[in-house]
Chains A and B, each alone.
Chain A
Amino acid sequence: MSANSAQSFGQAEAASKAGSATPIIEIVDLQKWFGSFQALKNINLTVKTGERIVICGPSGSGKSTLIRCINRLEEYQDGRLLVDGIDLSAGTKNIDAVRAEVGMVFQQFNLFPHLTVVENCMLAPMKVRRANKNEARDTAMKYLTRVRIPDQADKYPAQLSGGQQQRVAIARALCMSPKIMLFDEPTSALDPEMVKEVLETMIGLANDGMTMLCVTHEMGFARQVADRVIFMDQGEIVEQGEPHSFFANPQNERTRGFLGQILH
């Protein structure tokens, strides 16, 4: 299996991405507390359409919390967050509409265990997009084929390996044709031999121009596909830059310490 085999998730998106510099996510002075603990401090981040961002940092640094704010799985207390022009600060009225445009892949997969693989992929398009059963099934099979597990469509999640389950989770999110994909440590719960198949799927997605925010410690992935690497520590964005300079020449002491630990 080569990295190329997972390609062509949507060439049209790739084409539109090159010339476009419109911000699809705008985060301004975001503050988030869990009780008295401040999980996010003064986060400012602008993401352009088609941009691929990798967020890394020690555990508890707020990186997962940050991307979970983007689809409002976490609420924040202060600041502004705009997704595709919709202000999430203004209340929860539009939240389901925003969530339909933002796909998310979780560390623990979170597939629905009572539904088959293809039903997992069909549920949201049918309920949210009002697709009929045949359309939803066609879409589901299209993306299951792209993550290379169409033959598992009628199995239940528990019958699949971790890597397969995570690829189903990616397909399930893609079935909603999201404008943004969020990955929350997608390979951290996987056995080592299954990390590659999931990363290859993500690389294919990146090559097709999907706007992606990935919380991951897979620095090889970051080097290969990221436009920008962000390092977070203690709820702050400490440093960011394009992968080459970020890895070769980190400016901040904390970044150097962290990279020293994970790059062995």
Chain B
Amino acid sequence: MIRQFGLNEALFILSGIQATIALSLIAFAGGGLFGFVVALLRTAENKAVRRLAAAYIDFFQGTPLLMQLFLVFYGLPAFGVQVNQWVAVAIGLTLHASAFLGEIWRGSIQAVPLGQTEAARALGLHYKDRLVSVILPQAVRLSIAPTVGFLVQLIKGTSLAAIIGFVELSRSAQIVASTTYKPLLAYGLVAIFYFVLCFPLSRLSAMAERRLSVSR
């Protein structure tokens, strides 16, 4: 039976936004936390540690998110670790986002002129104080635009979670499209929802950049 495309269908698609937002938040939080660690390891003084972090980044940048999700979802059970959907997707998105954010932040940290580190060292500041008081405040400003750019990609990337069973924005649109035979309407609507999620982020980033650049 072909259903009409009515308010219920629109609301059904909209309900998918909850999962999209939840998945995005998990990816931001996990990716942000571990990405920060990856960035620190990637800029560590120890060469072996730097290489290890680089290999981690290379692997997750060089393989598709889809495959990473598959690997976690089907791979962990193969090692006898049973994981539910949420845990699997949280691990997959965190690994993926931490590699990309780690590399973005590595670049931002290294874009702070070497003289800043040298001056901080010469004053006797320890690693933590050099990082927190001198390097990071300058690196954060440099990293805002690429970070937000990646987060927007990540929001859209959560649609891949549909293939391990999540009914998020894209999947709900697909369901509605197949029951109403109105794909243009369904996908058009979901595009608008994605835009509404992502656009404010981009604007926020532009604002933050303007505010933080005052001190330069």
Binding site for B on A (CB under 8 A): 71, 73, 96-104, 106, 108, 110-115, 123-124, 127-128, 156, 158, 169, 172-173, 176
- Determine the residue in chain A with the shortest Cβ distance to B130: A127
B118-176 residues at the A interface, CB under 8 angstroms: 118-126, 129, 133-134, 137-138, 141
Q: What count of chain B residues pass the 8 Å CB interface test?
A: 20
B133: contacting residue among A103, A108, A123, CB under 8 A: A123
Q: What is the distance, in angstroms, from B5's C-beta to the closest C-beta of chain A?
A: 53
* Residue of chain B at shortest CB distance from A101: B124
Residues of chain B within 8 A of A99, CB atoms compared: 121-124
CA distance A101 to B124 in the complex (A): 8
Which of A71, A103, A127, A156 lies in contact with B125, CB distance below 8 A?
A: A127
Contact A113 B115 (CB under 8 A): no
Chain A interface mostly: mixed
A101, B141: Cα distance in complex, Å: 32
Query: Which residue of B119, B126, B141 has the most chain A CB atoms within 10 A of its CB atom?
Result: B119
Given contacts A73-B121, A124-B123, A124-B124, contact A110 B115 (CB under 8 A): yes
A100 touches B123 (CB 8 A): yes
Given contacts A73-B121, A114-B138, contact A96 B126 (CB under 8 A): yes
Q: List 15 A-B contacts (CB under 8 A).
A: A71-B122, A96-B124, A99-B124, A101-B124, A102-B122, A106-B119, A110-B118, A114-B137, A123-B125, A124-B125, A128-B124, A156-B216, A158-B216, A176-B123, A176-B124
Q: How far does the Cβ of B97 sit from chain A's closest Cβ, in whole Å?
A: 27
In the bound assembly, the distance between CA atoms of A73 and B124 in angstroms comes to 11
Asked if B215 is at the interface of the complex by the 8 Å CB criterion, the answer is yes
A72 CA to B116 CA, complexed, in Å: 15
- Give the docked Cα–Cα distance between A97 and B138 (Å): 26
Query: When A and B form their complex, which 7 residue pairs have the shortest distance between CB atoms, in order from nearest?
Result: A100-B124, A110-B119, A124-B123, A104-B122, A110-B115, A99-B124, A127-B129
Can you add 20 more A-B contacts, CB < 8 Å, to A97-B124, A104-B119, A127-B125?
Answer: A71-B121, A73-B118, A100-B123, A103-B122, A104-B122, A110-B116, A110-B118, A111-B119, A112-B116, A113-B215, A114-B137, A114-B138, A114-B141, A123-B133, A124-B125, A127-B126, A128-B123, A128-B124, A128-B129, A176-B123
The answer on a CB contact under 8 Å between A108 and B124 is: no
Q: How far is the CA of A217 from the CA of B76 in the complex (A)?
A: 66
The docked-state distance in angstroms from the alpha carbon of A73 to that of B133 is 19
Contacts of A158 in B (CB 8 A): 216
Query: Smallest CB-CB separation from A72: which chain B residue?
Result: B121
Report the minimum CB–CB distance from B137 to chain A (whole Å): 5
A106 contacts across to B, CB distance below 8 A: 115, 118-119, 122
A79, B125: Cα distance in complex, Å: 26
Residue of B nearest to A108 (CB): B115
B125, chain A: closest CB distance, angstroms? 6
Q: Which residue of B lies closest to A97 (CB)?
A: B124
Q: How far is the CA of A6 from the CA of B122 in the complex (A)?
A: 24
Q: How far is the CB of B119 from chain A (nearest CB, A)?
A: 4
* A126 CA / B216 CA spacing, docked (Å): 23
A115 to B137, CA, bound (A): 10
A172 to B116, CA, bound (A): 13
Measured CB to CB, the closest approach of chain B to A54, in angstroms, equals 20
Closest CB in chain B relative to A18 CB, distance in Å: 28
- Flag if A172 contacts B123 (CB, 8 Å): yes
**A107 smallest CB distance to B (angstroms):** 9
Contact A114 B215 (CB under 8 A): yes
| Distance from A255 Cβ to chain B, minimum over Cβ atoms (Å) | 30
B216 contacts which chain A residues (CB < 8 A)?
113-114, 156, 158
Query: Smallest Cβ distance from A189 to chain B, in angstroms?
Result: 11
Chain B residues closer than 8 Å to A176, beta-carbon distance: 123-124
Q: Which residue of A lies closest to B138 (CB)?
A: A114
Closest CB of chain B to A259's CB: distance in Å?
Answer: 30
> Which residues does chain A contribute within 8 Å of B113, judged by CB atoms?
110
* Smallest beta-carbon distance B186→chain A, Å: 48
Cα(A88)–Cα(B124), bound, Å: 14
A96 CA / B116 CA spacing, docked (Å): 16
What separation, in Å, do the CA atoms of A37 and B94 have in the docked complex?
45
Which A residues lie within 8 Å of B121 (CB)?
71, 73, 99
Task: Select from chain A the residue with minimum beta-carbon distance to B114.
Answer: A110
